[in-house]
Amino acid sequence: MFLLQAPQVRELELFTSMPESLRRRERSDWADANRGGAVTDSFLEGPVFDDAGNLYVTDIPWGRIFRIDPQGAWTLVAEYDGEPNGMKFLDAGTLLITDYKNGLMRLDVATGAVTPYLQRRNSERFKGVNDLIFDSADNLYFTDQGQSGLHDPSGRLYRLRPNGQLDLLLSNVPSPNGVALSPDERVLYLGVTRGNCVWRVPLLPDGSVAKVGQFFTSYGPSGPDGLAVDAEGRVLVANPGLGCVWVLNGRAEPVEVLRGVPGSSTTNLAFGGADGRTLYVTDSTHGHILRAALDVPGLPLHRRGRAGR
């Protein structure tokens, strides 16, 4: 990677850690398949904020959803038979979850009840859905990753329209993961983990995609995971294999690198704080939530029917 100007490098700070009382030091089916059989007490993903400034995260192997208050205190919201990954608010009291085991699921945050939202397409199960985002027109974009990779580039990107129509936009992705939209919503950015890159997906007025290209190329043992976009259109990329977050300008040049401690697995990220200028990052290896103050706020996230943080 040749850079005309070296990026600024800063360290992520620890915001909070999962309490020992919530860690489960047991083997799980998910860890057997995805962590080489290692005992994995938790694997945090899917950070998203509610209107009160509480941070919600998933714990994939144990089917748990946690709420973390602004002071860093943890509360178990739900535990169910699933493998929850990405989350976005459907409305102020309902989270929509991409569940690897079950498809799209809905969580009532007040009661902890988890119910199906979209589990199958044409009676066929998904490979293993991963992440999601709404646009301002109530379209939902989500990735179907499964165990795809360079050996099997069959991961998929879907769009679910408000009328229930499900469009298959891409079916040739080697491990589609995080998704984010440009400020004008004309481009979708797609984390391609096993390809160690981020794709740029133009969204055309007729609903199709064309001239999909490789926007950014990373390196190392595990490529881009979760994505976010700030108000200036910069793309932020959680890179678990490197334990860092890339902050990319419009030419995909890293202008800043936010680093976790050695061994961190920086899997996903969300903007929060009173002014939306604090980036929160899940460190899945250690059960930590990391953070860093930025000079540009995150792009507000949409929900069904209105915009939110």
- pLDDT tens digits for range 25-71: 888 888 888 888 888 899 999 999 999 999 999 999 999 999 999 99
How many angstroms separate the CA atoms of 197 and 138, rounded?
A: 27
Q: How far is CA 3 from CA 187, 189, 234, 254, 258, in A?
A: 24, 21, 17, 8, 17
pLDDT at 1: 65
Distance CA 43, CA 46 (A): 10
Note the pLDDT of residue 191.
Answer: 98
**Is residue 13 classed exposed, middle or buried when 0-12, 13-18 and 19+ CB atoms within 10 A define those classes?**
exposed
Q: Which domains does the chain have, with CATH numbers?
A: 16-222 (2.120.10.30)
Q: For residues 224 and 216, is the Cβ–Cβ distance under 8 A?
A: yes
Pairing state between β 8-11 and 254-259: parallel
pLDDT of residue 308: 44
In this structure, the strands spanning 244-248 and 254-259 are antiparallel
| Cα–Cα dist 262/83, whole Å | 27
**pLDDT (0 to 100) of residue 288:** 98
For the chain (309 residues), the mean pLDDT of every run of 10, in chain order, is: 85 98 90 85 96 97 97 98 98 97 98 97 94 97 97 98 96 98 98 98 96 97 97 98 97 97 95 96 96 97 70
Percent of the chain with pLDDT over 90: 89
The sign of the dihedral angle between the CA atoms of 44, 66, 247, 191 is positive
**pLDDT (0 to 100) of residue 309:** 41
b or e along 194-221 (b: 16 or more beta carbons within 10 Å of the residue's beta carbon)? bbbbbbbbebeeeeebeebeebbebeee
For residue 189, what are the CA distances in angstroms to 17, 18, 212, 248? Answer: 30, 30, 10, 12
In this structure, what token pair is assigned to residue 234? 């910069």
pTM of the full predicted structure? Answer: 0.96
pLDDT at 32: 87
